[in-house]
Amino acid sequence: MFENLESSNGRPVELDVGHLVDKLVARRRGGYCFEHNMLLKAALEEMGLGPVDVMLARVRIGGTGEDRPLNHLLLRLTDRGRQWLADVGLGGGGLLDPIPFEVGVESDQSGWVYRLVEDGPELVVQVVNDGAWTDMYGFVPVPAPAIDVEVSNWYTATHPLSPFVTSGFFGRRSVDRCLTLFVFEQGLLVERPVGGASEITEVPRTEVPALLAQRFGIEGVTLGTNGRLDLIQTTAR
C-alpha cells in the first residue's frame, strides 16, 4: 500500500530495517518508495539475492518537461546471471513483478506491459497506459551511495515544496486494477482497469477518509480541523 501520511504531517520517514518491519509488516501500514524498496532490498539480500543495487530516479508522470528532483528509488538485482529491475514503491501504477534490466524488452504482467528504453544518459521505465507508451521515471543506471539515499529521502519528506509534504498520495495495486488518489484541495481518484481507459473522479476532501477505507483498505484516517489527513496511530497486531 502506498501512502505518505508521515511526510504530509511533518513526521520523519525512517529507513532503518527494524522500523520498516514494524511499520509495514507488524502494523500493516503503507509507505512511499524509499520505505517499500529499502525493505524489499533487505528481504532480497536475506534470501541470498544480494548485493542489491539502489538507484535514484526522477519521476516523469504528469511532467511538463521541467527538471525534477531525484525523489524515487528503485532496485537492481542479479538472479542466475540475469539482471532485473525491481520496484514495489511507485504509487498505484508500478510494477507487479521485476522486469529485465535490458533495453527494449517488453514485459507483460497480467496485461500490464512495461519496458525499459534509453533517453540520453538515462534509462526510462515505460508502461502502456490508455493505449500508448507512457514514461514513469528516468534514472542514470549507477548505484546510489547510502548518503545520497538518505539525503533524497530527507528532501522528499521535509522540503516545504515537496509534493509529499504539501499533498496526499495513496495507491493500491491489484492484478486487474490500478487505483491512485491525489489529495490537494480536494481528492482526485484515478482508476485504471487492465487494458482499459483511465477514469478520473473528483472526491470532496470530507469524503476521502471513507474512500480510503472502502477502496484502499486504509482504515482509521481522519480529517483534522486543520484540513490535514492523518491516521490514528496503531500498534502491532
Q: Which residues are catalytic?
A: 33, 72, 87
On whether the CB atoms of residues 149 and 15 are closer than 8 A, the answer is yes
Give the list of residues 6+ apart from residue 6 with CB closer than 8 angstroms, or none: 12, 13, 31, 157
Contact 77, 83 (CB under 8 A): yes
Half-sphere exposure in the Cβ direction for 97 (13 Å, CA): 11
Residues 6+ apart with CB under 8 A from 171: 1, 2, 3, 90, 91, 92, 93, 94, 178, 179, 180, 181, 216
Assigned C-alpha cell, 161: 515544496
Q: In the numeric block, which cell numbers belong to residue 62?
A: 504528469
